[in-house]
Amino acid sequence: MINHALPSQSCLQDLSAITGRVCELRVNPHQAEADRTARAWFNSISLYDDKKRSKFVNYGKFDLFAALCFPDADLRHLITCLIFFFWAFSTDDLSDEGDLQSKPEAVQAGHDISAIVVNNPDGPRPEYPYAAMFYDLLARFRETSTPGAYKRSQDRIPSVDEFILMRRATIGGAMVEAMAEYSLDLDLPDEVFDSPIIQAMSDATNDLMTWPNDLCSFNKEQSDGDYQNLVFCIMNERNVGLQAAIDILTEMLAQRVDDYVELKSKLPSFGPAVDAELARYLHARHSQHGGGRLRRIFQVVRILLEAPFVEQPTDR
């Protein structure tokens, strides 16, 4: 159990400098046009009232996020990538801080409706708005993708290793990877993704995406009494205070970048044509993480300002 009360403040190192060694920043030139089309689609869903919709779309900066994550996608693919973000983040908000935060039965009902979309893609478009968005997303994906690209909360704080594995499974990394392949209209053979090196690189890039998120969102989550965060896991497992846990995770992040660089140096060859396509794919993955890194910078100020530190009981 955590035996350290949270301090009134903590310090974060420059996470961008750490992950920026492998994650560059480039912007897609089709950002504005894709935003107009995707925003019109999102508005047609009638998911929120005007005020909430305006805040979600404008404050989220999803157009910039997509433009940074998919800098080489053409307009048609970038629109789909942006629609993916609209669907993913609005759905995620339901369970994170929205109507379904404490309603697992409602989450299951929404999941069941969405599962029908996957299992019966030619069926009618659901009325449930989140499933309707998913329906539209998959329809666009089928129309514009290559065949290969198509193919919370409990009191117990898990161990660090357990939480890392769980985080990889729940972050949606597989879908994000598929969007990287989709954005460039690639069709990499299965043997690429079966490679142990590629799988290890995938784990590393997912960690590079999730660990900074846990560092930046810790304050918001602790103020909500949410302990499903890697910082809390480190505090609990190593019996250290907040700043020590932050520093430990930052060191882990730097080591993960080193791991990725080493893995990349060991990439096998799959033949000249596939190697060229794989290089484009990995470049896209770097851009995704670069875009995600910048978006976290935009969001961390809000998180830190809106959620004051709340001293937690020491027996948690």
Helices (H), 147-241: 147-150, 160-170, 173-183, 190-194, 196-223, 230-238
Identity of residue 172: G
pLDDT per residue of the chain (316 residues) written in tens, 0 to 9: 565 677 778 887 877 778 777 777 789 999 999 999 999 999 999 888 889 888 888 888 899 989 988 899 999 999 999 999 999 888 877 765 555 555 667 777 877 888 888 888 888 999 989 899 999 998 888 887 766 565 533 345 778 998 898 888 766 677 778 888 888 888 889 999 999 999 999 999 889 888 888 888 887 777 666 777 899 899 988 988 889 999 999 999 999 999 999 999 999 999 999 999 999 999 888 777 665 555 554 454 444 444 444 444 444 3
Q: Return the closest-CA partner of residue 149 out of 245, 73, 64.
A: 73
Mark residue 46 as left, alpha or beta (left: phi above 0; alpha: psi -120 to 50; beta: remaining).
left
Instruction: Output the pLDDT for position 272.
Output: 94
Cβ 114 vs Cβ 130: under 8 Å: yes
* Helix extents (H) in 46-74: 50-60, 62-69
Rounded to an integer, what distance in angstroms lies between the CA atom of residue 157 and that of residue 278? 38
- pLDDT at residue 293 in the model: 53
Produce one character per residue of 43-82: b if its CB has 16 or more CB atoms within 10 Å, e if not. eebebbeeeebeebbeebbbbbbbbbbbbebeeebbbbbb
- How many angstroms separate the CA atoms of 233 and 227, rounded? 8
Q: What pLDDT does 154 receive?
A: 36
Token code pair at residue 132: 């309707």
pLDDT value at position 313?
A: 41
| CB-facing half-sphere around the CA of 166: CA atoms within 13 A | 13
Contacts of 17 (CB under 8 A, 6+ apart): none
Q: How far apart are CA 268 and CA 279, in angstroms?
A: 12
Give the span between the Cα atoms of 188 and 277, in whole angstroms: 7
Q: Which residues fall within 8 angstroms of residue 125, CB to CB, at 6 or more apart?
A: 132, 135, 136
All domains of the chain in start order, with CATH: 1-22+149-316 (1.10.600.10), 29-69+73-144 (no CATH)
User: Global pTM?
Assistant: 0.60
Q: How many CB atoms lie within 10 A of CB 267?
A: 16
Among 49, 53, 23, which Cα is nearest to 39's?
53
